[in-house]
Amino acid sequence: MTFVELNKLTKRYGAMTAVNGVDLAIEKGTLVCLLGPSGCGKTTTLRLVAGFIKPSDGQIRVGGRVMSSASGSEPPEARNMSMIFQSYALWPHMTVAENVAYGLKLRKLGKAEIETRTNRILQATKLANLAARYPSELSGGQQQRVSLARALVVEPETLLLDEPLSNLDANLREEMRFEIRRLHDEFRYTTVYVTHDQTEAMTAANLIVVMKQGNIEQAGSPEDIYERPRSEFVAQFIGGSNIFRGKRVGDRSVDCGGLILDCGSGEFEGNDEVAVSVRHHDMHLTAEKPAGDPNNWATGKVARQVYLGSHRDYLISLPSGETVRAIAPVSVAIPENQQVWLHCPPDRCRALVH
């Protein structure tokens, strides 16, 4: 059942269009990640949903009720939404328990209910043993959990998160990704989560919405977006891909300047110009010249090789002057300037829509 619906949602600032006719249907209980680079419109979309800004055109409906349109907008406090920002925004003079209970006190709930709901959410967010501490006595990850608990305790219809992990170090970010997913699975709030971090989106989301220049480029499950990108932008932004360009020469074959790629998946448009993506980790690297069918094989020289513990990251210069990246096991150790051969398996070559 669709719960949050964006219909032709548009936001203009003078001649600049930040959000351009976005259509999106979010089912109740879904965690949606708006993903994209800076300036793609994801945060503006979130602020429109929250009611902080009014759309230039289009509508936002929540639970079948119009929340925003060009003619009028419900104020944020009337939307039964909770929002978590990049900064934790905790009251420094209040304990953890007092910070979490603050929204319930504003709603003038009874003392017993406030205590019951506060204790329940402190247990769920693993903060019960920190209830008497002040924010200055907490780590960044603990402060972010307090921020989550404060947002969840008021039982919002919709939870909004704006780059909530950007202020944490790498280890804490990884921990909190799974924590956000765990809490979502427990409480099942309809959640809109803005991030530029693809790993956050892949870990947390039921639905990833990739945005570019105010438009939705592609929407789907994490597996759909990663395994079946439709455009060059999505293929390169999610997971990283080498992009080969050429002309279609067969039913599912592309001539990329002498390199013939047989494509096992993707969409071919009507014109002859085709782009093909191959994930970095799907490129097979060898120092020995292959025998047999030359299709899907390229040669080049190692321009750079970096040891990263779990794998080696190669940059290969092709005769055309282009460079491609290949991820190889640590056992594949080929020095710089040595000639190598690259295999692009047909089942991992995907034709893309321009």
The residues spanned by each domain of the chain are 2-227, 240-352
**What is the distance of C-alpha 77 from the center of its chain?**
27
Please give the single-letter amino acid code of residue 340.
V
**Structural domain 2-227, CATH architecture:** 3-Layer(aba) Sandwich (3.40)
* pLDDT score of 274 more than 70: yes
Burial track 38-69 (b if 16+ CB lie within 10 A, e otherwise): eebbbbbbbbbbbbebebeebbbbbeeeebbb
* pLDDT score of 270 more than 90: no
pLDDT of residue 141: 85
Burial track 172-204 (b if 16+ CB lie within 10 A, e otherwise): bbeebbebbbebbeeeebbbbbbbbbbebbbbb
Mean per-residue pLDDT of the chain: 92
Alpha helices in the chain (DSSP H): 42-50, 96-106, 111-124, 140-153, 170-187, 198-204, 222-227, 232-237
* pLDDT score of 334 more than 90: yes
pLDDT of residue 273: 86
pLDDT tier, 24 (very low <50, low <70, confident <90, very high otherwise): very high
* pLDDT score of 240 more than 90: no
Average pLDDT for 241-267: 91
Q: How far apart are CA 245 and CA 278, in angstroms?
A: 11
Q: How far apart are CA 150 and CA 142, in angstroms?
A: 12
* pLDDT score of 354 more than 70: no
**Contact assessment for residue 342 and residue 328, using Cβ atoms and an 8 Å cutoff:** no
pLDDT of residue 144: 87
Q: How far apart are CA 245 and CA 235, in angstroms?
A: 14
**Structural domain 240-352, CATH architecture:** Beta Barrel (2.40)
Tell me how far CA of residue 117 lies from CA of 109, 150, 234, 324, in angstroms.
10, 11, 42, 54
The whole model's pTM is what? 0.89
pLDDT tens digits along 69-113: 999 999 998 999 999 888 878 999 999 999 999 999 989 999 999
Q: How far apart are CA 161 and CA 33, in angstroms?
A: 9
Which of 201-205, 289-293, 316-320 comes out lowest in average pLDDT?
Answer: 289-293
Q: Please write down the long-range contacts of 196-201, taking CB distance under 8 Å and 24 or more positions apart.
A: 196/35, 196/36, 196/37, 196/38, 196/42, 196/163, 197/165, 197/173, 198/35, 198/237, 198/238, 198/239, 200/33, 200/165, 200/173, 201/33, 201/35
Nearest to 246 by CA among 272, 283, 278: 272
Token pair in block for residue 44: 């503006």
pLDDT of residue 46: 97
* pLDDT score of 63 more than 90: yes
pLDDT tens digits along 164-220: 888 788 888 888 889 889 889 989 999 999 999 999 999 999 999 999 999 999 999
Sign of the C-alpha dihedral computed for residues 169, 170, 172 and 178 taken in this order: positive
pLDDT of residue 94: 95
pLDDT of residue 173: 84
Token pair in block for residue 331: 């056992």
* pLDDT score of 271 more than 70: no
pLDDT of residue 291: 85
